[in-house]
Structures are given as structure tokens and as C-alpha cells.
């Protein structure tokens, strides 16, 4: 467990991607089976321990510590597992630390009711770093900035095999991946990929910035505001992958079940109908489903999802990636026509006369699900990653409003301990501020420090972790759209609000009114 804990900490403190890959590769080479296999599964997100839920860890903590002291600590640290690991008394001195596989075996063979006690016993045998790694391992979600793809890349580097070969056999194998390591070390043949659907890296776009392109060379499509997704199917099995190559099939089973083509396609996961244009919560609901191991029928019914197809990578067994976009597009249209129209449609090509016309159409487009325009070179193949000059994203100009900061809360993760989440409001005709949104991005580190100081120096009341501040600071807020909302007293909600400027020069009573915001509803 200590080696695994050291790896986790190493990954947390290392910024460079290459260095992270190197750390994982070293660990995979130096650690015996099956520990390294479980660790690889934990990093790639394929490890699931059914008996431990994060609520159980909080419950365990509140049973052992004063709940108020625990909450204050959790509020400061910004992470439940780390808080518990740090608060837990150190009595590990003589104890023998458990191995990763011992932990996995014990937790897999206990019940949900007995798991907290078992965890507590294991915690007593570890130091603070070990306890942190244990809790992260048990709950899944290591949060060390490693995607499934990067974990496989590290495996490839450790044993000198290609990451695509790893991808191809990956889904035919199960943790702790003994066959994979045996192959990596040259002790056995490459495992049989069987009839396996696997991930291919996405093609990504550069921002267009202030440039322009010739529409004879570039096709234009709307950039949809959902979740980019890849569907791979061999006919025998269908898998869904997110941008980082993490498998998300279990989160969207209705899509996998409805897909009756064979091949690999690229598209955007969206919510059908009014829902997508309405409450911003619909997108959040989609996001929250991403991390789930399973979803209820109610969740599926509440937000009917479908995939808007952008591209085709494989048609049947035929690799289309080296073909120009025009050829792939024709093939995609034929492919899409055979799919269930309830769950799949085609991302339309925008028919613009020229670039200026396109700019007009982009400016006029206010549907909440449109994030901007994509420009794709007609003769470009489908290439992994972000290649210069082939694909551009041209995001819509945001709307802005001047709002007044009302409440602040500490952030979590990288921003724990900073007051970095701000609730802001606009004025009613009676001169009352009502909240219209919450933002936690858009400012620089220096601005964050200033904002944090402002909150601390201007607190007028505290409600648990939330501070109410003096209503004196105007924030210019940028957002993609505004729409009706029953959730907020103001009756409106913003889509993707972020702080665009601090208006320290502007008096609070000159900030925008709710009526001004309402006029922007598109």
C-alpha cells in the first residue's frame, strides 16, 4: 500500500503529463502482481468496490469525530477522504501495512454494513498518506489527473508496447489484468482481443480566435453543447467513451442498446426537446450521469438523451480515418440513416454563402444548446488530437451583465480554502437584490486572491460554510444564455456563467436589473 500511496502523491504533485506517465510506468514495472493490476484498474477507472460508498466514509468520520469539528475541517480541506485521512489518529507505528490486493480482497468479501468497520481497521494500520490512498482506492475516483487513456499509455511505456494494442485487448480483460502484464513482460502471447469494441482517440479543434477561413475549404457545423462521445460497436458489443477514453457505457445504457450499427462514430450526447433549451439543470444532469456506474429508469425517462453524430471513424471493419472529411461525411449520412431516429441524428451542415454570412448566422443563433460553430477542413483526415489548421471551434460571443456579489463559499480541489464560488444578484424594481447565478471561474489567480481577501474583509454574516458579503462589489458576468427558471426567486437562470471582469470602479446600485436580464432571454 505504501508504494501505491507514494505513487498517488507523486501524481498529485507532478504537473507534467510525461512525468506522470513515467511515474506510473515505473510503478507498474517495479510492483508485483496482482497489486499493480489493481492499481492500474484504479487509475483507469475500472475498479469498483461495491461495498464502500463515500457517504459511509462520512458517516464513519462523524461517528468518531465531533461532527462540527469534522465539518469545519472538511470545509477547509475541500475533500472528505483527505480530511478523514488527516484527522485519523496515527497508531500505525508497529502495524504491518496491508497490501493493495489484501485491501481489495477484504473489501470485496465484506458487506456494505460491515465495510466501514473494516476500513477503520485498515486505517489503523496505515500512516496519513496510506489512509488517503486507501480511501481513494475504496471509493474510486482517484482525482490525480489521469485518464484511462493516460494509464494505458503508461502501461505501453512501461513494457514497450503500443497503446493502441493495449486499447484493443483492454476490454477483453478484467482487473487485476494478469494476462496483460504477462504479455507486457513477454511471458505470454498478446491476449485475444476477442470481439472487442475499443476506444480511438478523438480529433479535437483549435479556437479560431480572430481569424477567418474560406468556406470552400471548410465545412461549418453547429457546435452543440452536450457531452462529446464516441460509440464503438462490433455488433457483438457496444461501448461508449468520453473524451479522455473513459468508458461511460453504464451511464447511458439506452444509447448503447439502441445503437444497431457496426463501426465507430463520433458525436455529441444531448437531451431531447425542450429540456435541453430549458433548465440549465438538464446539462448538469447529463454531466452527473457521466460518472455513474448505473442509472435508474426514472433518470432515463426524465432526460431523454440522444446522440447527434459528427463523424465516422470505422464503417464496419473499414478504417475511414485516413479518408477526407467529404468522403467520411457521405458515409456518415448513409450510416446514420440506418440508426434509430429517436436516439440518433445527424449534425447538420450550416449552409452559409460565405464567412460573413456565417458570422451573421452565428451571432443570431441563441438556442441554448448551440455553443458556437465548428469549422472542419473538407480534405482533412480524422487525426488524433489537436492538429493545426484542420478543425476550428468558433464559440459564440457571450452575453454579459453587471451583477453584485452576495455570497461566497470556499472552493474545493485546487481552490480549497479560497473563497472562490460566488453567488451574485441583480436588482428588482424595489431595489432588492435577488440571486441570478453562481460562478467559480473566469478570474486569474491574482484576481482570486483579491476576491478572497474582499470576502474575508467584507463578511456580514456566516451560514455554515457560506459567507454573506456586503453588497458593494460589481462583477461583470459572462454567460451563454439566460432562461426562465422556477428554481430561483428571480425567475431566471444563466447558462454557464463565469466572471469576466471585476468592476471595482462601478457602484453597486448601477449594476443591471433583473428586467435587463429578462430582456436577453433568447
Partner 1 sequence: MVYIALAAPHIKPQKRNVIIARTVAQHWIEPHAHGIYVKPADMWIDPSRPAERALVTHGHADHARSGHGTVWATPETLAIMALRYGTETGTPMRYGDGFEANGVKISFHPAGHVLGSAQILLEHAGERVVVTGDYKRRFDPTCAPFEPVPCDVLITEATFGLPVFTHPPIEDEIAKLLAAREANGDGCILIGAYALGKAQRVIAELRRAGYDAPIYIHGAMQKMCDLYMAHDVPLGELILATGLAKAEMKGGIVIAPPSAMNDRWAQRLPDPITAMASGWMRVRQRARQRNVELPLVISDHADWNELTDTLLELRPSETWITHGRTDALGRWCELHQLKARALDLVGREEEDES
- Judged by the rule CB under 8 A, the positions of this chain that interact with partner 1 are 9, 12-15, 65-66, 68-69, 72-73, 76-79, 82-83, 86-87, 90, 132, 413-418, 456, 458, 460-461, 470
Cα(310)–Cα(240) distance, rounded to whole angstroms?
A: 15
Task: Between 79 and 105, name the residue whose CB sits nearer to partner 1.
Answer: 79
What CA–CA distance (Å, rounded) separates 245 from 133? Answer: 23
Alpha carbon distance 82, 132 (integer Å): 6
Minimum distance from residue 64 beta carbon to partner 1 (Å): 11
Closest contact distance (angstroms) between CB of 72 and partner 1 is 5
Residue 442 buriedness (CB in 10 A; 0-12 / 13-18 / 19+)? middle
Between 144 and 370, CB nearer to partner 1: 144
Query: Rounded to the nearest whole angstrom, what is the least distance from the CB of residue 78 to partner 1 in the complex?
Result: 6
- Residue 218 CB, shortest distance to partner 1, in Å, is 39
CB of 89 to partner 1, least distance (A): 9
**Which residues, listed in sequence order, are joined to residue 467 by a DSSP beta bridge?**
408, 462
Q: How far is the CB of 85 from partner 1 (least distance, A)?
A: 9
Q: How far is the CB of 412 from partner 1 (least distance, A)?
A: 8
Alpha-carbon torsion (351, 356, 361, 365), positive or negative: positive
Nearer to partner 1, 392 or 419 (CB): 419
Closer to partner 1 by Cβ: residue 58 or 200: 58
Rounded CA gap, 3 and 9, in Å? Answer: 10
Q: Among candidates 382, 459, 475, which has minimal Cα distance to 425?
A: 475
DSSP state of 415: G
3-state secondary structure of 193: coil
Of 187 and 414, the one with the shorter C-beta distance to partner 1 is 414
In 149-176, which positions are buried (b, 16+ CB within 10 angstroms) versus exposed (e)? bbbbbbbbbbbebebeebbbbbbbbebb
Residue 446 phi, psi dihedral angles, 5° rounding: -65, -40
CB of 458 to partner 1, least distance (A): 6
Residue 201 or residue 425: which is nearer to partner 1 going by CB? Answer: 425
Q: Which of 135, 161, 156 is closest to 61 using CA atoms?
A: 135
Nearer to partner 1 among residue 307 and residue 408 (C-beta): 408
Measured from the CB atom, the residue of 78 and 278 that comes closer to partner 1 is: 78
Nearest distance, CB of residue 45 and partner 1, angstroms: 20
Q: Which of 275, 282, 335 is nearest to 309 (CA)?
A: 335
Measured distance between the N- and C-terminal CA atoms of the chain, rounded to whole angstroms: 54
468 vs 319: CA distance, rounded Å: 57
Length of the chain (residues): 522
141 phi-psi bin (left φ>0, alpha ψ -120 to 50, beta other):
left
Of 69 and 257, which has the nearer Cβ to partner 1? Answer: 69
**Quick one: which of 376, 390, 452 has its CA closest to 421?**
452
Amino acid at each position: 500500500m505504501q508504494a501505491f500511496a507514494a505513487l498517488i502523491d507523486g501524481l498529485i504533485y507532478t504537473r507534467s503529463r510525461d512525468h506522470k506517465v513515467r511515474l506510473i510506468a515505473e510503478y507498474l514495472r517495479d510492483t508485483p502482481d496482482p497489486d499493480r493490476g489493481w492499481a492500474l484498474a484504479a487509475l483507469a477507472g475500472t475498479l469498483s468496490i461495491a461495498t464502500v460508498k463515500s457517504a459511509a466514509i462520512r458517516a464513519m468520520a462523524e461517528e468518531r469525530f465531533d461532527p462540527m469539528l469534522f465539518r469545519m475541517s472538511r470545509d477547509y480541506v475541500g475533500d472528505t477522504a483527505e480530511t478523514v485521512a488527516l484527522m485519523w489518529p496515527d497508531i500505525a507505528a508497529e502495524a504491518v501495512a496491508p497490501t493493495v490486493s489484501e485491501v481489495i480482497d477484504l473489501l470485496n468479501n465484506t458487506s456494505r454494513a460491515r465495510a466501514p468497520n473494516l476500513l477503520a481497521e485498515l486505517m489503523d494500520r496505515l500512516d496519513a498518506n496510506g489512509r488517503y490512498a486507501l480511501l481513494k482506492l475504496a471509493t474510486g475516483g482517484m482525482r490525480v489527473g489521469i485518464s484511462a487513456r493516460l494509464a494505458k499509455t503508461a502501461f505501453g511505456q512501461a513494457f514497450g508496447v503500443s497503446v493502441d494494442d493495449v486499447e484493443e485487448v483492454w476490454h477483453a480483460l478484467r482487473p487485476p489484468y494478469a494476462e496483460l502484464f504477462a504479455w507486457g513482460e513477454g511471458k505470454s502471447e498478446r491476449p485475444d482481443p476477442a470481439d472487442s469494441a475499443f476506444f480511438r482517440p478523438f480529433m479535437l479543434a483549435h479556437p479560431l480566435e480572430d481569424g477567418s477561413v474560406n468556406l470552400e475549404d471548410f465545412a461549418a457545423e453547429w457546435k452543440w453543447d452536450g457531452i462529446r462521445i464516441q460509440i464503438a460497436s462490433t455488433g457483438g458489443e457496444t461501448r461508449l467513451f468520453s473524451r479522455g477514453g473513459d468508458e461511460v457505457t453504464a451511464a447511458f445504457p439506452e444509447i448503447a442498446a439502441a445503437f444497431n450499427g457496426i463501426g465507430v462514430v463520433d458525436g455529441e450526447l444531448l437531451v431531447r426537446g425542450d429540456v435541453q433549451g430549458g433548465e440549465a439543470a438538464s446539462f448538469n444532469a447529463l454531466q452527473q450521469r457521466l460518472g455513474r456506474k448505473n442509472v435508474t429508469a426514472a433518470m432515463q425517462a426524465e432526460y431523454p438523451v440522444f446522440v447527434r453524430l459528427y463523424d465516422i471513424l470505422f464503417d464496419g471493419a473499414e478504417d475511414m480515418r485516413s479518408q477526407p472529411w467529404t468522403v467520411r461525411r457521405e458515409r456518415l449520412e448513409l450510416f446514420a440513416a440506418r440508426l434509430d431516429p429517436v436516439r440518433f441524428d445527424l449534425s447538420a451542415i450550416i449552409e452559409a454563402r460565405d464567412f460573413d454570412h456565417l458570422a451573421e448566422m452565428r451571432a443570431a443563433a441563441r438556442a441554448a444548446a448551440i455553443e458556437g460553430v465548428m469549422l472542419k477542413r473538407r480534405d482533412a483526415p480524422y487525426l488524433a488530437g489537436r492538429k493545426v489548421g484542420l478543425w476550428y471551434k468558433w464559440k459564440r460571443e457571450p452575453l454579459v451583465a453587471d451583477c453584485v456579489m452576495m455570497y461566497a463559499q470556499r472552493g474545493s480541489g485546487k481552490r480549497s480554502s479560497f473563497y472562490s464560488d460566488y453567488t451574485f444578484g441583480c436588482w428588482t424594481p424595489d431595489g432588492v437584490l435577488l440571486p441570478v447565478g453562481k460562478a467559480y471561474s473566469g478570474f486569474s489567480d491574482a484576481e482570486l486572491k483579491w476576491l478572497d481577501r474582499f470576502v474575508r474583509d467584507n463578511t456580514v454574516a456566516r451560514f455554515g460554510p457560506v459567507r454573506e458579503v456586503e453588497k458593494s462589489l460589481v462583477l461583470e458576468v459572462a454567460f451563454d444564455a439566460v432562461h426562465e427558471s422556477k428554481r430561483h426567486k428571480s425567475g431566471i437562470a444563466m447558462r454557464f456563467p463565469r466572471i469576466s471582469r471585476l468592476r471595482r470602479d462601478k457602484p453597486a446600485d448601477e449594476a443591471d436589473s433583473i428586467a435587463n436580464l429578462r430582456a436577453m432571454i433568447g
